[in-house]
Copies of this chain bind each other. A is one copy, B any other.
Amino acid sequence: MSDECYERILHLRAIRGYDDRPIVADDLDRILEAARWTGSSKNRQNWAVVVVTDPDQRNRLAACGDYTDPIRNAPVALALVQEPDGYEFDTGRMAQNIMLAAASIGVGSCPITLHREDQARDVLELPAGSRCRYAVALGYPAADARPARWGGRKPLREIVHRDRYGVPYMP
């Protein structure tokens, strides 16, 4: 099958440095399509995406979290809204689709946590019951952009168990 897709999944890394170009509308639409087609529990699709391009609004959104410079520096931030009866798990699936779709068309991305949800609700003018704890910054990678989290991962033997927690998967 497709080794290229598999390798892209394996090597996806957050990009925190972007060049100054706005994102071409076609590219942004393709990324939004990937978000839209993400699977969700019972196909509920209890989510929304706020495309934040206005610089003042991006700065306000960035103030809602602690490590949010990519939102300030990127041309676009996608605020991922969890609607009532939605699940954070599905929001995470959508974020991964966004990042992988972006990478497949040459757009860098970085997931961002908005630690102060109440503030984010005000900034985004969300209706009661909707929440936004996560966003994804998007931009064409800067020439000198380096992956932010090439920090390695735990080995499989540390995180994988067999049938029951505590039973090693690896012999």
Contact = CB atoms under 8 A, between A and B. Distances in A.
A149 interface: yes
A2 B3 CA distance: 12
A133 interface: yes
Contacts of A5: 2, 4-5, 8, 100, 104
Given A8-B2, A13-B39, A97-B96, A48 B125 contact: no
A82 to B, nearest CB: 10
Interface residues of A, number: 76
A52 B163 contact: yes
Interface in A68-111: 81, 87-97, 99-101, 104-106, 111
Contacts of A162: 50-51, 53
A86 to B, nearest CB: 11
A30 to B, nearest CB: 7
Interface of A: 1-6, 8-14, 29-30, 32-34, 36-39, 41, 43, 45, 47-54, 57, 81, 87-97, 99-101, 104-106, 111, 113, 124-127, 130, 133-134, 149, 151, 153-156, 159-166, 169
A73 to B, nearest CB: 17
A13 B93 CA distance: 13
Contact of A39 (B33, B111, B113): B111
A95 B129 CA distance: 26
Contact of A49 (B4, B111, B130, B161): B161
